[in-house]
Amino acid sequence: MQRRVAITGLGIVSTFGNDVGGFWDAVLVGQTGGSDVALDGLPTLPGVRVLEFDADEVIGKREARRMDRVGIFAAVAAAQALADAGQHGIAPERIGTAIGCAHGGAGTVEETQRTLLERGLDRVSPFAIPLGLVNSPVAGTARLHNLKGPSAAPATACAAGSDAIGWAYERVRDGRADAMVAGGAEAALVPSVLAGYIRLGAIASLAHGAAAASRPFDTARDGFVMAEGAGVLVLEEWEHALARGAHIYGEVVGYGQSCDAGHLTSPDETGEGPARAVQAALDDAGLTAAAIGYVNAHATSTPVGDTAEARALQRAGLGQTPISSTKGQHGHTIGAAGAIEAIVTLACFARNHLPPCANLVEPDVELDLVREARPATPDYAMSTGFGFGGHDAALIFKRA
Domain boundary among 182, 213, 243: 243
Residues 186-237 pLDDT 10s = 999 999 999 999 999 999 999 999 999 999 999 999 999 999 999 999 999 9
> Which whole number is the average pLDDT over 350-355?
98
- Catalytic site positions: 158, 298, 332
Same domain flag for 60 and 164: yes
State whether 20 and 78 are in the same domain: yes
Q: Report the pLDDT value the prediction gives residue 55, as an integer from 0 to 100.
A: 84
Q: What's the average model confidence in pLDDT over 37-62? A: 90
**pLDDT confidence band for 57 (50 / 70 / 90):** confident
161-193 confidence digits (pLDDT tens): 999 999 999 999 999 999 999 999 999 999 999
Which one of 243, 278, 310 terminates a domain? 243
Is the residue at 224 inside a domain? yes
Residue 392 structural domain: 253-398
- How confident is the model at residue 262, as a pLDDT? 78
136 and 181 housed in the same domain: yes
Q: With 90 as the cut, is the pLDDT of residue 381 above it?
A: yes
Q: What pLDDT does 354 receive? A: 98
Regarding whether 152 and 261 lie in a shared domain, the answer is: no
Q: Is residue 248, in this structure, part of any structural domain at all?
A: no
If DSSP states are collapsed to H, E and C, what string results for the chain?
Answer: CCCCEEEEEEEEEECCECCHHHHHHHHHCCCCCCEEECCCCCCCEEEECCCCCCCHHHHCHHHHHCCCHHHHHHHHHHHHHHHHHCCCCCCHHHEEEEEECCCCCHHHHHHHHHHHHHHCHHHCCCCHHHHHCCCHHHHHHHHHHCCCCCEECCCCHHHHHHHHHHHHHHHHHCCCCCEEEEEEEECCCCHHHHHHHHHHCCECCCCCCHHHCCCCCECCCCCECEECEEEEEEEEEHHHHHHCCCCCCEEEEEEEEEECCCCCCCCCCCCHHHHHHHHHHHHHHCCCHHHCCEEECCCCCCHHHHHHHHHHHHHCCCCCCEEECCHHHHCECHHHHHHHHHHHHHHHHHCCEECCCCCCCCECCCCEECCCCEECCCCEEEEEEEECCCEEEEEEEECC
Separation of alpha carbons 328 and 284, rounded Å? 30
Specify whether 155 is located in the same domain as 228.
yes
* 394 shares a domain with 370: yes
Residue 279 has what pLDDT? 97
Q: What is the pLDDT of residue 242?
A: 98
Residues 153 and 176 in one domain: yes
> Of 243, 268, 293, which residue is a domain's last?
243
Mean pLDDT of 307-315: 95
Q: Model confidence over 237-292: pLDDT tens digits?
A: 999 999 999 999 999 999 999 999 977 767 778 889 999 999 999 999 999 999 99
In contact, 313 and 164? CB cutoff 8 Å: no
Average pLDDT rounded to a whole number, residues 332-350 = 98
CATH number for position 148: 3.40.47.10
Do 157 and 271 share a domain, yes or no?
A: no
Q: What is the mean pLDDT of the chain?
A: 96
